[in-house]
């Protein structure tokens, strides 16, 4: 009798120890065996309310609630390395891999697969619920080679959330098939580094390289991106995203979107959007709370930037300020509209939601017209041998439209245009302007805003005149 009681007590104690240590023992094991399928409660994300209608590519619809995040394989502390292992999650809201706290997971040629959908698109977009692999609360994941495949709604490929959380991917293939399934995503100050990663997404609101609420930092080198879903740009930034030497293609959306006071930098990338009735690049503020501020910075050096469909512009700016710099980039737009700055009915308060564009062309060849409505402004600077062929503010609707030219740059006018201000003193001799090629057209300017022009009429190279507006 006593022996049976002692034996029962020992069994209870062993079970208690096993339950209390199951997460850590599975997490800290350094062998290469197949990981134990363990569901582990993670950190509880703060509550938040995403936009009721997803912004282009953001995929943040629904209501976010505080809920536990879980992974079929979880690591909360210590280090673990595996080679050629498979990680699978089939349940709703469950990641295949979840690394948190001080955990560091190194994967070589893994196969990561999830098939469950999310119960909250907000939690998936803000906190990584249901992602193929998730680093949160300081967790670190390094992955070389291998594949990540997700098929459920809201199932992002790789996700990093929270300050100190890091994901590094090299020579990996990611295929996110569901609506709201981004290939890679950062939020709440997480970071991610990509090298030669191949990414595809197929669902709507599924931008491939993306950040969401709280922003993050993503640096990508090489690789390819193809997105085919509605409102699914190749790059969507509410943080700081830099891509170099990659091919970025969007067939169901604009190629790139910046929301709020955030940035996208493209160096030597081939960037293309092919979807009609959109635009090549959008810079805006949705007022959803996902991104603070109103100063999007878009910088492109070398490579190409093309919008092959119509009738939209290459750049559409609304309800924000856009700082756009192009340097030595192959640029084309099928519609012939380079910039459209305008208010609309979807974002901001009507009448005060126009676009403010500060556009710099550096050693850049451009072709296309510049359009702005009565609550929007455009300031163009051409320098270091840049050229623009097109019309500026033909309808005279812009709140302000200004042009600055250095002596080495030219503007070839293709239709009658109107400038609020012109700065071009290096190429004005008497009443002749040598670096504006008029083509027989008339360019008008505001007399009061240009005291240096003295209210005079100037002859343009190749015919045409610059004169004060009547």
Predicted confidence at residue 263, as pLDDT, reads: 98
CA of residue 215 relative to chain centroid, distance: 10
The pLDDT value given to residue 288: 87
Distance CA 184, CA 154 (A): 12
Q: How far apart are CA 370 and CA 389, in angstroms?
A: 10
Provide long-range contacts, Cβ within 8 A and 24+ apart, for 390-396.
Answer: 390/336, 390/338, 390/366, 390/414, 391/415, 391/416, 391/417, 391/441, 392/417, 392/418, 392/419, 393/417, 393/418, 393/419, 394/369, 394/418, 395/371, 396/444, 396/469
Contacts of residue 4, defined as CB under 8 A and 6 or more positions apart, other chains included, come to none
CB contact set of 429 (below 8 Å; sequence gap of 6+): none
Sheet holding 247-250, edge to edge: 86-89, 111-114, 147-150, 173-176, 198-201, 224-227, 247-250, 270-273, 304-307, 330-333
49: buried, middle or exposed (CB in 10 Å: 19+, 13-18, 0-12)? middle
State the residue for tokens 């981004």: 182
Closest CA to 390 of 354, 452, 337: 337
Q: What is the pLDDT of residue 21?
A: 30
Torsion of the alpha carbons at 307, 309, 311 and 317, rounded to the nearest 10: -30
pLDDT value, residue 67: 63
Give the tokens for residue 7.
């034996």
CA 414/CA 394 separation, integer angstroms:
10
pLDDT computed for residue 264 by the predictor: 98
Q: What is the pLDDT of residue 8?
A: 38
> Burial code of 379-396, b = ≥16 C-beta within 10 A, e = fewer?
bbbbbebbbbbbbbbbee
Low-confidence ranges of the chain (pLDDT < 70): 1-67
Q: Contact 271/254 with Cβ under 8 angstroms?
A: no
pTM (2 d.p.): 0.87
């Amino acid at each position: 009798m006593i022996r049976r009681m002692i034996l029962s007590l020992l069994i209870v104690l062993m079970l208690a120890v096993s339950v209390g240590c199951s997460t850590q023992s599975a997490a800290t094991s350094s062998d290469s065996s197949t990981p134990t399928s363990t569901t582990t409660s993670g950190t509880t994300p703060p509550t938040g309310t995403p936009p009721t209608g997803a912004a282009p590519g953001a995929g943040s619809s629904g209501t976010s609630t505080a809920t536990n995040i879980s992974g079929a394989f979880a690591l909360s502390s210590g280090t673990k390395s595996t080679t050629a292992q498979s990680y699978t999650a089939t349940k709703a809201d469950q990641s295949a891999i979840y690394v948190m706290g001080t955990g560091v997971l190194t994967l070589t040629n893994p196969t990561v697969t999830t098939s469950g959908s999310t119960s909250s698109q907000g939690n998936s977009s803000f906190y990584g619920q249901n992602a193929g692999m998730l680093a949160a609360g300081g967790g670190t994941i390094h992955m070389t080679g291998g594949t990540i495949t997700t098929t459920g709604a809201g199932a992002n490929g790789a996700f990093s959330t929270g300050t100190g959380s890091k994901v590094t991917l090299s020579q990996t293939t990611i295929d996110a098939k569901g609506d709201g399934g981004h290939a890679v995503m950062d939020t709440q100050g997480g970071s991610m580094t990509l090298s030669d990663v191949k990414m595809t997404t197929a669902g709507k609101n599924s931008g491939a390289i993306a950040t969401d609420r709280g922003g993050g930092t993503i640096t990508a080198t090489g690789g390819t991106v193809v997105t085919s879903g509605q409102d699914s740009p190749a790059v969507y930034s509410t943080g700081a995203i830099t891509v170099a030497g990659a091919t970025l293609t969007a067939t169901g959306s604009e190629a790139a979107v910046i929301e709020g006071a955030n940035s996208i930098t493209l160096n030597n990338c081939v960037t293309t959007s092919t979807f009609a009735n959109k635009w090549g690049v959008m810079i805006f503020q949705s007022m959803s709370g996902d991104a603070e501020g109103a100063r999007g910075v878009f910088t492109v050096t070398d490579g190409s930037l093309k919008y092959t469909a119509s009738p939209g512009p290459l750049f559409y700016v609304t309800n924000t300020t856009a700082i756009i710099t192009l340097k030595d980039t192959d640029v084309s737009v099928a519609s012939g509209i380079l910039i459209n700055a305008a208010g609309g009915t979807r974002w901001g308060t009507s009448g005060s939601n126009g676009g403010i564009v500060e556009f710099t062309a550096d050693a850049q060849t451009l072709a296309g017209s510049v359009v702005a409505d009565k609550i929007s402004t455009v300031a163009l600077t051409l320098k270091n041998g840049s050229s623009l062929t097109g019309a500026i503010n033909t309808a005279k609707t812009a709140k302000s439209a200004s042009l600055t030219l250095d002596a080495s740059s030219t503007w070839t006018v293709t239709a009658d245009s109107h400038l609020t201000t012109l700065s071009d003193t290096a190429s004005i001799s008497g009443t002749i302007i040598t670096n504006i090629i008029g083509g027989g057209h008339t360019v008008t300017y505001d007399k009061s805003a240009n005291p240096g022009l003295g209210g005079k009429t100037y002859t343009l190279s190749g015919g045409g005149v610059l004169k004060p507006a009547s």
